[in-house]
Amino acid sequence: MSDRPILLIHASQLLTLREEPVPRRGSEMHDLGVINDGALLMSDGKIVSVGTTDEVSRNDLAAKAEEFDCRGKVLLPGFVDSHTHPVFIAPRLVDFEKRIAGAGYEEIAEAGGGIRSSIRGVREASVEELAEHVLQSLREMAAYGTTTMEAKSGYGLSLESEIKSLKAISLAAQQWPGTIVATLLGAHVVPPEYREDPETYVDLVCEQMIPSTAEHRLATYVDVFCERGAFTPAQSARVLSTAVDHGLKTRVHVCQLTAAELGPLLRFHPASLDHMDFVDDADIPGLANSDTVATLLPAANYFLGLDKFPPARRLIDNGVAVALATDYNPGTSPTTSMPFVLSVACTHMKMSPAEAITAATINGAYALGLQGSKGSLVHGKDADIAIFTAEDYRELAYWFGVNRCERVFLRGLRG
């Protein structure tokens, strides 16, 4: 770690995303707060000054700083990947081939593939092994410009293995200079041993997993997969209500495969509702008037080879706060690349490059309750910065399948 302040100068564009309000809605998503010939000064992990190179160079600390010339680069807040499932052991290559041959999501699950096939790997692994896999994904994410991520459990699906998964997240977080927010997703699917009696599994989630998670402070959020083949709206409400009773915050996987009524979920003030491919028009005004973010995960649609993508335009144009995330997981979205997500958001959901960057930074930070420290480059916030080889921010979503992220700083530390 360098004790000296660090000064980044002459950036072709520096994207501050500084303007209020947070989260951004509608046309507010277009304003990236671009500074040409931008500079940023950081010290002790925090941003000290942001402006043009002339302005920032006048700061007293600038004279003592280690200097990086950022000509031909775009600087922006590190991406906030607000939806990932990194606690697993093996890729799901059989599912991959089956899907290519024409099998559907539910058909693969029926055949014993899908989420259930990741359970064995997690149950048999040690916490250290799992942490090593999580850490590997964190390093990959940082290489693509991500400095903050949410990480869910959800492939253990027993009290012991869900707690072990959360401990693995915590262990990996201690070895990574970026920021991790942990989520208990014990209610991901009903594991095979409870297949005939899903209510007893919901009892286990509510009476043991959530209390234990809260007691040991292993997660900030509780998530539930509210979907046909996973958990019913009534079961989901019970999980969310129990989470709130234990002082945990909530988020929900919903409307991925089928429509669901959002009103009953919004009562729990979830930080985000995620996927939202099948959101009903009637639910959009209520969502737009809430503090809940719609987190869209188009890399999953891409990987599943779907024609349908989440309705970003309908949501944004009606005032819903939208975030973008990878949904990194072994079954439906094996990617750690936020730039790839930006590309798919632009090409398949018709988001503008500026909207996509806003969704992947400040709105993602808001979806994790971290808007006070992450998601924009302003004085006093954490020095989480991504540097891309590009003259223009639109290039971030334009080049795809290649990595133009040159460097990140994670709380002032070089990634």
Smallest gap from Cβ 85 to Zn ion, in A, equals 6
Smallest gap from Cβ 274 to Zn ion, in A, equals 6
For residue 156, what are the CA distances in angstroms to 87, 124, 201, 363, 380? Answer: 9, 9, 13, 30, 39
How many CB atoms neighbour CB 414 within 10 A?
Answer: 12
Smallest gap from Cβ 194 to Zn ion, in A, equals 21
Is 283 or 327 the residue whose CB approaches Zn ion more closely? 327
- Stretch (H or E) spanning 69: strand 66-69
Q: Which two tokens stand for residue 205?
A: 């989630």
Residues 319-358, mask of contacts with Zn ion (x by CB under 5 A):
--------x-------------------------------
Smallest gap from Cβ 154 to Zn ion, in A, equals 8
Is 49 or 332 the residue whose CB approaches Zn ion more closely? 332
Bridge partner residues of 221 (DSSP)? 183, 249
Site for Zn ion in 203-222 (CB under 5 A): none
Rounded Cα distance, 376 and 365, in Å: 9
Report how many residues bind Zn ion under the rule CB under 5 A: 1
Q: Which residue is nearest to Zn ion (CB)?
A: 327
Is 87 or 405 the residue whose CB approaches Zn ion more closely? 87
Rounded Cα distance, 267 and 271, in Å: 11
Residues 271-310, mask of contacts with Zn ion (x by CB under 5 A):
----------------------------------------
How many CB atoms neighbour CB 109 within 10 A?
Answer: 19
Rounded Cα distance, 145 and 342, in Å: 12
* Angle of CA points 390, 344, 142, to nearest 5°: 55
Smallest gap from Cβ 132 to Zn ion, in A, equals 22
Smallest gap from Cβ 377 to Zn ion, in A, equals 28
Smallest gap from Cβ 333 to Zn ion, in A, equals 8
Is 12 or 84 the residue whose CB approaches Zn ion more closely? 84
Bridge partner residues of 35 (DSSP)? 14
Is 155 or 268 the residue whose CB approaches Zn ion more closely? 155
List the 179-187 sheet strands across, edge first: 79-81, 146-152, 179-187, 221-226, 249-254, 272-275, 293-296, 322-324
Is 104 or 372 the residue whose CB approaches Zn ion more closely? 104
Is 212 or 272 the residue whose CB approaches Zn ion more closely? 272
Q: Which residues contact Zn ion (rule: CB under 5 A)?
A: 327
